[in-house]
């Protein structure tokens, strides 16, 4: 069965802390995505990656960075967390090549920044 795992379901951090959100997929997918979900705003794309060591900015990349050192792992980094980054973060993956159209999502990481 397809699996996207986000290591932390709930995190509480303080303003200014460095935060790592980890995402691992076991499907050998080339493409990985980080979305942010806020009530009334839907999902907004932060960063995505089509290959190892490759990254592309999405719609709201400010205040975030990413790392993709291995194909199965895509990390979202908040260099200095701020209260307006309190949100639900969703990781997703999809195979490269002929695309079936489905994004496979993790269960999300709910981050609270105090």
| Cβ closest to another protein, residue 33 vs residue 81 | 33
Query: Closest approach of Cβ 80 to another protein, in Å?
Result: 27
3-class DSSP assignment, residue 40: coil
Helix, strand and coil content of the chain, in percent to the nearest 5, comes to: 5, 50, 45
Closer of 17 and 22 to another protein (Cβ): 22
Cα–Cα distances in Å, from 94 out to 3, 16, 17, 20, 28?
Answer: 11, 33, 31, 22, 9
CB of 47 to another protein, least distance (A): 11
Closer to another protein by CB, 58 or 63: give it: 58
Query: CB of 101: closest distance to another protein in angstroms?
Result: 5
**Residue 76 or 90: which CB sits closer to another protein?**
90
CA 49 to chain centre: 10
Minimal distance in Å, beta carbon 63 to another protein? 20
The dihedral built from the CA positions of residue 95, 101, 106 and 108, taken in this order, carries a sign that is positive
Task: Summarize as ranges the residues that interact with another protein (CB under 8 A).
Answer: 4, 31, 33, 35, 40-45, 48, 50, 58, 90, 92, 94, 99, 101-103, 105-108
Q: Which two tokens stand for residue 87?
A: 């949100």
């Amino acid at each position: 069965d397809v699996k996207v795992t986000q290591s932390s379901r709930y995190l509480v951090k303080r303003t200014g802390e460095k935060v790592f959100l980890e995402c691992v997929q076991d499907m050998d997918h080339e493409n990985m995505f980080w979305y942010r979900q806020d009530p009334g705003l839907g999902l907004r794309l932060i960063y995505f990656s089509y290959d190892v060591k490759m990254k592309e900015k999405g719609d709201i990349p400010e205040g975030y960075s990413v790392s993709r050192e291995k194909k199965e792992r895509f990390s979202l980094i908040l260099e200095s967390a701020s209260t307006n980054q309190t949100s639900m973060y969703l990781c997703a993956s999809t195979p490269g090549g002929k695309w079936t159209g489905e994004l496979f999502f993790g269960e999300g990481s709910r981050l609270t920044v105090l």
